[in-house]
Amino acid sequence: MTTSTSGERATFEQEALAQLDTLYRAALRFTNDPSRAEDLVQDTMLRAFRAWKSYRAGSNARAWLLTILRNTFINDYRRARREPVAMDLDVAESLALPESARDMDPEGEFFSRIVDQKVLDAVDSLPPDFREVLVLSDMEGLAYADIAAMLEIPVGTVKSRLFRARRQLQRMLYDHAVEMGYITPRAGSGSEAS
Amino acid sequence: MSEDRVNCREALEQLQDYLHQEASPELARKIERHLEVCAPCLHHAQFERNFQALLGATAAEIRCPDALRQRIRDALERES
Protein backbone atom coordinates (compact mmCIF):
# COMPACT_ATOMS: atom_id res chain seq x y z
CA MET A 1 0.00 0.00 0.00
CA THR A 2 1.44 3.40 -0.94
CA THR A 3 1.35 6.44 1.32
CA SER A 4 -1.10 8.22 -0.95
CA THR A 5 -3.64 5.39 -0.98
CA SER A 6 -3.43 5.03 2.77
CA GLY A 7 -3.95 8.79 3.10
CA GLU A 8 -6.86 8.53 0.72
CA ARG A 9 -8.40 5.79 2.77
CA ALA A 10 -7.94 7.84 5.93
CA THR A 11 -9.83 10.85 4.53
CA PHE A 12 -12.47 8.58 3.04
CA GLU A 13 -12.99 6.82 6.34
CA GLN A 14 -13.16 10.11 8.19
CA GLU A 15 -15.86 11.51 5.89
CA ALA A 16 -17.76 8.44 4.80
CA LEU A 17 -17.80 6.20 7.87
CA ALA A 18 -19.44 9.10 9.74
CA GLN A 19 -22.43 8.64 7.41
CA LEU A 20 -22.92 4.90 8.02
CA ASP A 21 -25.96 5.34 10.28
CA THR A 22 -27.64 7.46 7.61
CA LEU A 23 -26.76 5.01 4.83
CA TYR A 24 -27.95 2.02 6.82
CA ARG A 25 -31.27 3.68 7.71
CA ALA A 26 -31.90 4.69 4.10
CA ALA A 27 -30.93 1.20 2.90
CA LEU A 28 -33.36 -0.37 5.36
CA ARG A 29 -36.23 1.77 4.10
CA PHE A 30 -35.28 1.19 0.45
CA THR A 31 -34.85 -2.58 0.64
CA ASN A 32 -37.25 -3.36 3.48
CA ASP A 33 -34.86 -6.18 4.41
CA PRO A 34 -32.05 -5.94 7.03
CA SER A 35 -29.77 -8.45 5.32
CA ARG A 36 -30.05 -6.81 1.89
CA ALA A 37 -29.69 -3.41 3.51
CA GLU A 38 -26.31 -4.46 4.90
CA ASP A 39 -25.16 -5.68 1.48
CA LEU A 40 -26.39 -2.46 -0.12
CA VAL A 41 -24.48 -0.31 2.37
CA GLN A 42 -21.29 -2.31 1.86
CA ASP A 43 -21.60 -2.13 -1.95
CA THR A 44 -22.24 1.59 -1.67
CA MET A 45 -19.17 2.18 0.46
CA LEU A 46 -16.91 0.24 -1.87
CA ARG A 47 -18.23 2.10 -4.91
CA ALA A 48 -17.88 5.40 -3.11
CA PHE A 49 -14.30 4.56 -2.17
CA ARG A 50 -13.44 3.73 -5.78
CA ALA A 51 -15.05 7.01 -6.89
CA TRP A 52 -13.57 9.03 -4.02
CA LYS A 53 -11.36 11.03 -6.39
CA SER A 54 -14.49 12.47 -8.03
CA TYR A 55 -15.82 13.70 -4.71
CA ARG A 56 -15.14 17.40 -4.19
CA ALA A 57 -13.77 18.00 -0.71
CA GLY A 58 -16.03 20.24 1.32
CA SER A 59 -19.18 19.36 -0.59
CA ASN A 60 -22.02 17.44 1.00
CA ALA A 61 -20.69 13.94 1.72
CA ARG A 62 -24.06 12.74 3.00
CA ALA A 63 -25.86 13.73 -0.22
CA TRP A 64 -23.03 12.30 -2.34
CA LEU A 65 -23.10 8.95 -0.56
CA LEU A 66 -26.90 8.75 -0.54
CA THR A 67 -26.89 9.34 -4.30
CA ILE A 68 -24.53 6.38 -4.78
CA LEU A 69 -26.66 4.28 -2.45
CA ARG A 70 -29.82 5.13 -4.35
CA ASN A 71 -28.24 4.42 -7.74
CA THR A 72 -26.86 1.12 -6.48
CA PHE A 73 -30.27 0.22 -5.12
CA ILE A 74 -32.03 1.04 -8.40
CA ASN A 75 -29.49 -0.84 -10.52
CA ASP A 76 -28.89 -3.92 -8.43
CA TYR A 77 -31.49 -4.28 -5.69
CA ARG A 78 -34.83 -2.83 -6.61
CA ARG A 79 -36.10 -5.72 -8.66
CA ALA A 80 -35.70 -7.99 -5.68
CA ARG A 81 -37.44 -5.77 -3.15
CA ARG A 82 -40.37 -8.15 -2.74
CA GLU A 83 -38.26 -11.28 -2.60
CA PRO A 84 -38.94 -13.12 0.63
CA VAL A 85 -35.61 -13.61 2.37
CA ALA A 86 -35.17 -15.87 5.36
CA MET A 87 -33.55 -14.08 8.25
CA ASP A 88 -30.31 -15.70 9.31
CA LEU A 89 -29.03 -15.80 12.87
CA ASP A 90 -26.38 -13.12 12.38
CA VAL A 91 -29.01 -10.65 11.25
CA ALA A 92 -31.41 -11.60 14.02
CA GLU A 93 -28.61 -11.00 16.49
CA SER A 94 -27.71 -7.62 15.07
CA LEU A 95 -31.35 -6.58 15.37
CA ALA A 96 -31.54 -7.50 19.03
CA LEU A 97 -30.78 -4.88 21.64
CA PRO A 98 -27.12 -4.85 22.68
CA GLU A 99 -26.47 -6.61 25.99
CA SER A 100 -25.14 -3.43 27.52
CA ALA A 101 -28.33 -1.55 26.78
CA ARG A 102 -30.43 -4.26 28.37
CA ASP A 103 -28.17 -4.40 31.40
CA MET A 104 -28.72 -0.72 32.02
CA ASP A 105 -32.39 -1.58 32.41
CA PRO A 106 -33.97 1.02 30.21
CA GLU A 107 -37.31 -0.75 30.16
CA GLY A 108 -39.02 2.34 28.91
CA GLU A 109 -36.47 2.72 26.15
CA PHE A 110 -36.95 -0.89 25.07
CA PHE A 111 -40.68 -0.28 24.95
CA SER A 112 -40.28 2.86 22.87
CA ARG A 113 -38.08 0.99 20.40
CA ILE A 114 -40.83 -1.52 19.87
CA VAL A 115 -43.71 0.89 19.43
CA ASP A 116 -41.76 3.12 17.09
CA GLN A 117 -42.02 0.26 14.64
CA LYS A 118 -45.43 1.79 13.98
CA VAL A 119 -43.74 4.88 12.59
CA LEU A 120 -41.47 2.78 10.39
CA ASP A 121 -44.38 0.65 9.17
CA ALA A 122 -46.27 3.80 8.23
CA VAL A 123 -43.24 5.16 6.34
CA ASP A 124 -42.84 1.81 4.57
CA SER A 125 -46.47 1.84 3.50
CA LEU A 126 -46.10 5.13 1.59
CA PRO A 127 -45.92 4.98 -2.22
CA PRO A 128 -42.22 4.61 -3.22
CA ASP A 129 -41.90 8.15 -4.65
CA PHE A 130 -43.29 9.65 -1.45
CA ARG A 131 -41.31 7.35 0.84
CA GLU A 132 -38.08 8.27 -0.88
CA VAL A 133 -38.38 12.05 -0.41
CA LEU A 134 -39.68 11.67 3.12
CA VAL A 135 -36.77 9.47 4.19
CA LEU A 136 -34.20 11.75 2.58
CA SER A 137 -35.70 14.95 4.00
CA ASP A 138 -37.39 14.22 7.29
CA MET A 139 -35.36 11.26 8.50
CA GLU A 140 -31.91 12.07 7.04
CA GLY A 141 -32.10 15.85 6.90
CA LEU A 142 -31.15 16.50 3.28
CA ALA A 143 -32.02 19.94 1.87
CA TYR A 144 -34.75 20.10 -0.78
CA ALA A 145 -32.19 21.22 -3.38
CA ASP A 146 -29.96 18.20 -2.68
CA ILE A 147 -32.94 15.85 -2.99
CA ALA A 148 -33.99 17.50 -6.26
CA ALA A 149 -30.48 17.08 -7.66
CA MET A 150 -30.31 13.47 -6.51
CA LEU A 151 -33.67 12.47 -7.97
CA GLU A 152 -33.28 14.74 -11.01
CA ILE A 153 -36.66 16.36 -10.44
CA PRO A 154 -37.61 20.03 -9.85
CA VAL A 155 -37.54 21.40 -6.29
CA GLY A 156 -41.26 22.09 -6.63
CA THR A 157 -41.88 18.39 -7.17
CA VAL A 158 -39.84 17.55 -4.07
CA LYS A 159 -41.98 20.00 -2.09
CA SER A 160 -45.29 18.68 -3.34
CA ARG A 161 -44.29 15.04 -2.77
CA LEU A 162 -43.11 15.90 0.73
CA PHE A 163 -46.30 17.79 1.50
CA ARG A 164 -48.45 14.85 0.48
CA ALA A 165 -46.19 12.26 2.12
CA ARG A 166 -46.30 14.14 5.44
CA ARG A 167 -50.09 14.52 5.26
CA GLN A 168 -50.49 10.77 4.64
CA LEU A 169 -48.17 9.93 7.51
CA GLN A 170 -49.91 12.34 9.84
CA ARG A 171 -53.24 10.69 9.08
CA MET A 172 -51.81 7.23 9.71
CA LEU A 173 -49.90 8.16 12.85
CA TYR A 174 -52.09 10.77 14.50
CA ASP A 175 -53.38 8.49 17.26
CA HIS A 176 -49.92 7.01 17.80
CA ALA A 177 -48.35 10.47 18.09
CA VAL A 178 -50.94 11.49 20.69
CA GLU A 179 -50.39 8.25 22.59
CA MET A 180 -46.63 8.81 22.58
CA GLY A 181 -47.08 12.33 23.90
CA TYR A 182 -45.67 14.00 20.81
CA ILE A 183 -48.83 15.94 20.11
CA THR A 184 -51.72 17.14 22.21
CA PRO A 185 -55.12 16.88 20.60
CA ARG A 186 -56.95 20.18 20.50
CA ALA A 187 -60.09 20.14 22.64
CA GLY A 188 -63.13 19.31 20.56
CA SER A 189 -61.11 18.70 17.41
CA GLY A 190 -59.90 15.44 16.04
CA SER A 191 -59.42 16.67 12.52
CA GLU A 192 -55.88 18.02 12.84
CA ALA A 193 -54.44 15.64 10.32
CA SER A 194 -57.26 15.61 7.83
CA MET B 1 -47.44 42.11 -2.50
CA SER B 2 -45.58 44.22 -0.01
CA GLU B 3 -47.72 43.18 2.94
CA ASP B 4 -45.67 42.30 5.96
CA ARG B 5 -47.54 39.13 6.78
CA VAL B 6 -49.35 36.25 5.12
CA ASN B 7 -52.92 35.07 5.64
CA CYS B 8 -53.86 31.72 7.19
CA ARG B 9 -54.08 29.87 3.90
CA GLU B 10 -50.66 31.08 2.76
CA ALA B 11 -49.15 30.43 6.18
CA LEU B 12 -50.37 26.83 6.24
CA GLU B 13 -49.23 26.22 2.67
CA GLN B 14 -45.71 27.43 3.45
CA LEU B 15 -45.49 26.17 7.02
CA GLN B 16 -43.60 22.95 6.31
CA ASP B 17 -41.01 24.75 4.19
CA TYR B 18 -40.61 27.34 6.93
CA LEU B 19 -40.14 24.67 9.63
CA HIS B 20 -37.52 22.93 7.49
CA GLN B 21 -35.57 26.16 6.98
CA GLU B 22 -36.46 26.07 3.31
CA ALA B 23 -38.42 29.35 3.21
CA SER B 24 -36.76 32.59 2.07
CA PRO B 25 -35.84 34.96 4.92
CA GLU B 26 -38.57 37.33 3.77
CA LEU B 27 -41.24 34.63 3.73
CA ALA B 28 -40.01 33.29 7.07
CA ARG B 29 -40.45 36.74 8.64
CA LYS B 30 -43.98 36.99 7.25
CA ILE B 31 -44.89 33.59 8.61
CA GLU B 32 -43.41 34.43 12.01
CA ARG B 33 -45.46 37.63 12.15
CA HIS B 34 -48.58 35.65 11.27
CA LEU B 35 -47.90 33.01 13.94
CA GLU B 36 -47.50 35.74 16.56
CA VAL B 37 -51.11 36.78 16.11
CA CYS B 38 -52.88 33.58 14.95
CA ALA B 39 -53.44 30.92 17.63
CA PRO B 40 -54.89 28.23 15.30
CA CYS B 41 -51.94 28.48 12.91
CA LEU B 42 -49.51 28.53 15.82
CA HIS B 43 -51.17 25.37 17.14
CA HIS B 44 -50.82 23.77 13.73
CA ALA B 45 -47.16 24.79 13.55
CA GLN B 46 -46.59 23.10 16.90
CA PHE B 47 -48.33 20.00 15.57
CA GLU B 48 -46.07 19.91 12.50
CA ARG B 49 -42.96 20.51 14.61
CA ASN B 50 -43.82 17.74 17.07
CA PHE B 51 -44.63 15.38 14.26
CA GLN B 52 -41.20 16.01 12.77
CA ALA B 53 -39.69 15.32 16.19
CA LEU B 54 -41.39 11.91 16.22
CA LEU B 55 -39.90 11.07 12.80
CA GLY B 56 -36.48 12.34 13.84
CA ALA B 57 -36.51 10.36 17.09
CA THR B 58 -37.53 7.21 15.23
CA ALA B 59 -34.66 7.62 12.77
CA ALA B 60 -32.14 8.31 15.54
CA GLU B 61 -32.91 4.95 17.15
CA ILE B 62 -31.60 3.04 14.14
CA ARG B 63 -27.83 2.69 13.95
CA CYS B 64 -25.55 0.85 11.62
CA PRO B 65 -24.74 -2.50 13.31
CA ASP B 66 -21.17 -2.71 14.65
CA ALA B 67 -20.57 -5.95 12.74
CA LEU B 68 -21.38 -4.23 9.44
CA ARG B 69 -19.18 -1.25 10.35
CA GLN B 70 -16.28 -3.65 10.92
CA ARG B 71 -17.04 -5.61 7.75
CA ILE B 72 -16.82 -2.38 5.76
CA ARG B 73 -13.55 -1.34 7.41
CA ASP B 74 -12.10 -4.74 6.53
CA ALA B 75 -13.33 -4.51 2.95
CA LEU B 76 -11.81 -1.04 2.57
CA GLU B 77 -8.53 -2.34 3.94
CA ARG B 78 -8.50 -5.09 1.32
CA GLU B 79 -9.46 -2.59 -1.36
CA SER B 80 -6.58 -0.16 -0.80
Dump pLDDT digits (tens) for A39-68: 999 999 999 999 998 887 778 999 999 999
Judge residue B10's burial from the number of C-beta atoms within 10 Å of its C-beta, 0-12 exposed, 13-18 middle, 19 or more buried: middle
Residue B3 has what pLDDT?
A: 67
| Residues of chain A found within 8 Å of residue B71, distances taken between Cβ atoms | 38, 42
Lowest-pLDDT range, A24-28, A69-73, A107-111?
A107-111
Average pLDDT, chain A: 80
Rounded alpha-carbon distances, angstroms, from residue A126 to A8, A188, B12: 39, 29, 23
3-state secondary structure of A59: coil
On chain B, the residues whose CB falls within 8 A of the CB of A13 are 73, 76
Greatest distance between any 2 Cα atoms in chain A? 70
Interface with chain A: mutation pick from B50, B72, B74, highest number of A CBs within 10 Å: B72
CB contact under 8 A, A183 and B47: yes
pLDDT tens for chain B, residues 1 to 80: 446 779 999 999 899 999 999 999 999 999 999 999 999 999 989 889 988 988 998 998 899 999 999 999 999 999 87
A33, HSE (Cβ side, Cα atoms, 13 Å)? 17
CA distance linking residue B43 with residue B15, whole number of Å: 12
Of A38, A113, A177, the CB nearest to B54: A177
Check pLDDT > 90 for residue A168.
yes
Q: Which amino acid is at A157?
A: T
CB A73 within 8 A of CB A31: yes
Amino acid B26: pLDDT: 94
Quick one: CA dihedral B62, A80, A169, B9, positive or negative?
positive
Which of A1, A21, A90 to mutate: most B Cβ within 10 Å? A21
Rounded CA gap, A24 and A134, in Å? 16
User: What's the pLDDT band for A85 if we cut at 50, 70, 90?
Assistant: very low
Spatial neighbors of A194 by CB under 8 A, at least 6 apart, are: A171
Separation between Cα atoms, residue A49 and residue A53, nearest integer Å: 8
Number of H helices and E strands in chain A, helices first, is 11, 0
CA distances from A193 to A6, A180, A186, B80 (A): 53, 16, 11, 52
- A181: Cα separation from own chain's centroid: 24
List, for residues A122-149, the tens digit of each pLDDT value. Answer: 999 999 999 999 999 999 999 999 999 9
Return the pLDDT at A7: 79
- Which pTM was predicted? 0.79
Query: What pLDDT is attached to residue B2?
Result: 45
Rounded (5°) CA angle A74-A76-A78:
50
pLDDT of residue A80: 63
Q: Which residue has the higher pLDDT, A2 or A128?
A: A128
The pLDDT of residue B5 is 76
**pLDDT for residue A175 is more than 90:** no
CB-based burial label for A36 (10 Å; 0-12, 13-18, 19+): buried
